[in-house]
Chains A and B, each alone.
Chain A
Amino acid sequence: MSTIDQSMTHTSRHGLFAGYRGRRIREALQAYLFLFPGTLLLIVFNLLPVGYALYISMHKWRIQKGHFLAFENYLKALGEPIDVVWVVGGMGLLAAAWMVWRSITAGTSSWGFLLRAAAVLMLLFGGLALIVGFPNMLENGDDDLFKSLLTTFFYSLGTVPLQIVLSFLLANILFQNIRGKTMWRILYFLPYVTVAVASAAVWRTIFDPSRGVINTLLSLAGVAEGNLPKWVFEARGVNLLIGEWLGIEIPTWAAGPSLALVVIILYNIWTYVGYNTVIYLAGLGNVPTEMYEAARIDGASQWELLRHITIPLVSPTTYFLLMMGILGTFRAFNHIYVITTGYTLGFPQGTTMTTSILIFKHFWEGHRFGYASALAFILTGVMLSLTWVQNRLSEGRVFYG
């Protein structure tokens, strides 16, 4: 095919853009032209602001610019420089150890032992550095930040896996010859389409402890009024509450996310299950049917089909949803804000204070533009490292057909 290209350009063009080289230059120029509008907007409204935000984060900036602080805002959040060096270095070493280890499996045998040893050493030192640095960081850094990261982590952990399992289940059922496929799909997708401000407001009224329909149903089911859950108003950990209900004493460190956060988690699941289902359906549609048939002939059971064919073959979808889900929970803002609106940010008692809400709080309540920007960059850093870790972990487990 390239011969056709060449002969065409040879006969029709002359000068600078003549020849194969010329065609490539022309294509490049045209590509830049195609990219121009998008990239221009991206630069003006995305990259430029990021640079600007970085600039802000290095200043004392309360509404208006103050003096230059270099990395002081970052250090205020993360503790002493030495802690940061330990932690970042430790994580770097761990990552490097992983990469070296990976390279061995494919690499030569003569260096294998040495490399292996190096990897183990790096792992060791990395772990050590983390053990040394991390407690110090927690000690010297911004407590609110670490608390909010933990909350975000709970939020993510509560949301993403359940969301994925549920939607996988629904998609698998919908993939059978079920009546009214389109109808089900539309119904499940409704929550995603709804305006977040509106649906979060509805959610709030449904879970209202005294007028909400959930508690009305519970009290109809015989739950005494004093025992009705307080939902959004409950700051105690959900494990603690379950323990109380079962009569088991749960230590405070295992209290888990507050019931208020659970309501937000439920909202998130409600919103995204339909979306994930639709995407899973697409993934299932791409699994070649012959594989099932062949496996059936070999006498595989329904469960084995699911385990050995469906799950591996939709793993790219799972990976995609996992990543989007995690990034989504880390960026989530609107619905948390609306569900807790009218109260202090992070209500009740800061238990729904995810990092993005914390950033908002510093921004709009404290007007610490500089510090808030620094926090935002730290959050971005966490997100990037999570993505990196996830990429590493999924290597070899995601099956790209």
Chain B
Amino acid sequence: MNTRKLVAVLIVLALVLPLAVACGPQETAQPTEAPVVQPTQAPAEPTKAPEPTPVPLSYDVEIYGDLENLDPSGQIVVYWHQHTSSRDELMLSLIDEFNRTNEWGITVQGESQGGYNDLYQKIIAGIPANQLPSMAVAYQNQAATYAVQGALVALDPYVESEMWGYSQQELDDFFPIALGADILPQFEARYGWPPYKSMEVMYYNEDWLGELGYTEPPNTWDEFAEMACAAAQQPFSGATGEGSSYGYVYSIDASRFATFVFSRGGNIINENGTGYAFNNDPGLEALLFLKDLVDQGCAAEQTERYGDQSDFGAGRSLFTISSISGLPYYKTAVDEGAGFNWSVNPPPHTTSEPRMNIYGASQSIFVSTPEEQLAAWLFIKWMSEPEQQATWASGTGYFPTRDSAAEMLSAYFEEHPTYRKAFTFMAMDYGIESPVAGYDECRAAVEEMLTAVLSGADAETQLNATAEQCNEYLEEAAP
């Protein structure tokens, strides 16, 4: 009976196999993007190409159409993002305003896809199925992954376009980080545009620092270690709840590691994106530093998601280092917790000036029709106008990417001095994490490395093995 079953299973599989092979040609015929572009393109080219543009175009007309003469009227733009609840609402009201006021009658449909991960997975699944939105929120490494698959359009032609792009003056208004981060080294092209940014900062408990006899937050990592260990010895007088006190409650996170490395003058990946570069002194120092803090009992790992935030709020962690977008949550945590004075500062550094880890997802446009792509670009551009940036920033706690938005935030600044302080960090020196495909797996490897080293593994061996592993991922995923 049971052998029969086994045989039957094999037979069924054997029957299905030819079926599956028969699926093959259908699937290979599937990428329909090219044919979709051509019909709209074909009539446009002979009529319009000769007259207005004697200069050879710097972009592929097949993909972009004749940009300067394109008409985006009446296009429908599907926009996938990861914002939920109040941020989703704000996004919807912005979209609503764009839909009502834009001169081309473009309609944007914002669709929330859950978290970053869900959004990412959905797009990955959507690429082979050719089921993609017009545009989506994407981190640089995610954008690189999509670009490797040929699913994204580079944005340089739009930025440079006389009709639809930016003037040099406008470009100068953007922070260098905002413009630099989205040029993917593997393609030497821009695959995203950032209406907002976030960054890693150090949160510190001012009152506790005062109790310990310090007037200034730490500027160097040595000072940081000294203060953290002092705090572990002398808990905050106003701490609430139960449990131990630490100088620094950390969370295992690849971006945190990047912050540590940047602030020591190192980099995660080399400039042209061909190899990981964290297995040198800054990387090793970062690992050993954290390990040392933990061994001395000055630092401890958080035990639940955002546990560092809760511990900070309860007055049980003198410092934490995390994203500035958590600012409102930190505020709640402190108000609900020990209720002390606190602030943010750039993370300590061994470089002469602070070197920030400024990051944030950008907006990327998927290959569709030239008109739809243009319409998506126009929406992105509208979102990046100072007014919209300011609205978004004051509603979410993210940072605008251009200087002129700051003027419109004066009221918000006044109410949120911490935010105003952090805003000045935007103009500081920065490092860029890893705008390459395959970084997800590398992140996981880095996080495993951190756990391993902190529980006793040899730092140097781990560091080299992880970098090697990451380089393999990089090579495998490269275009």
Direct contact of A and B (CB under 8 A): yes
B464–chain A nearest beta-carbon distance, Å: 17
Q: How many B residues touch A, CB cutoff 8 Å?
A: 43
- B149 and A52 form a contact (CB under 8 A): no
Contacting pair A63 B303 (CB below 8 A): no
Return A208 CB to nearest CB of chain B, in Å. Answer: 5
Identify which of B17-25, B50-58, B218-226, B321-329 touches chain A. Answer: B17-25
> Which of B128, B252, B304, B455 is in CB contact (< 8 Å) with A63?
B128
- 1/0 per residue, CB under 8 A from B, across A282-320: the answer is 000000000000000000000000000000000000000
Render A19-57 as a binary contact track against B, CB cut-off 8 A, 1 for contact. 000000000000000000000000000011011101100
Of B28, B305, B438, the contact of A65 (CB 8 Å cutoff): B28
Interface string of B3-27 (1 = CB under 8 A from A): 1001001001100110111011001
On whether the beta carbons of A349 and B23 are closer than 8 Å, the reply is no
- Contact (Cβ within 8 A) A62 B20: no
Q: Give bound CA distance, A348 to B450, whole Å.
A: 11
Check B304–A343 contact: CB distance below 8 A: no
Q: Among the listed stretches A79-87, A133-141, A359-367, which one makes contact with chain B, having 4 or more residues with CB under 8 Å of it?
A: A359-367
Contact A50 B13 (CB under 8 A): yes
Tell me whether A154 is interfacial, beta carbon within 8 Å: no
Indicate which residue in A47, A211, A344, A388 contacts B448 across the interface (CB closer than 8 Å). A344
Most B Cβ at <10 Å: residue of A48, A51, A347? A51
Whether the pair B24, A233 counts as a contact (CB closer than 8 A) is: no
Do B16 and A47 touch (CB < 8 A)?
yes
Contact B20 A54 (CB under 8 A): yes
What separation, in Å, do the CA atoms of A392 and B9 have in the docked complex? Answer: 18
Partner of A208, one of B149, B304, B440, B452: B304
Verify A64–B149 contact, CB threshold 8 A.
Answer: yes
B2 CB–A CB distance under 8 Å: yes
Instruction: Please provide the chain A residues from 314 to 349 with a CB less than 8 Å away from any CB of chain B in the complex.
Output: 342-345, 347-349
Q: Which of chain B's residues have a CB closer than 8 A to the CB of A7?
A: none
**Known A52-B20, A225-B244; contact A344-B13, beta-carbon cutoff 8 A:** no
B8, chain A: closest CB distance, angstroms:
12
Residues 434-452 of B contacting A (Cβ, < 8 Å): 438, 440-441, 444, 447-448, 451-452
A210 within 8 A of B: yes
Ordered by A's residue number, 25 sampled pairs between the chains whose C-beta atoms are within 8 Å are A48-B16, A48-B20, A51-B20, A52-B23, A54-B13, A54-B17, A55-B21, A63-B124, A99-B3, A205-B304, A208-B304, A210-B243, A210-B307, A211-B303, A211-B304, A225-B244, A233-B303, A235-B455, A343-B252, A349-B451, A365-B441, A365-B444, A366-B441, A384-B9, A392-B2
Interface residues of B (CB under 8 A from A): 2-3, 6, 9, 12-13, 16-17, 19-21, 23-24, 27-28, 31, 121, 124, 127-128, 145, 149, 243-244, 252, 301, 303-305, 307, 310, 438, 440-441, 444, 447-448, 451-452, 455, 473, 476-477
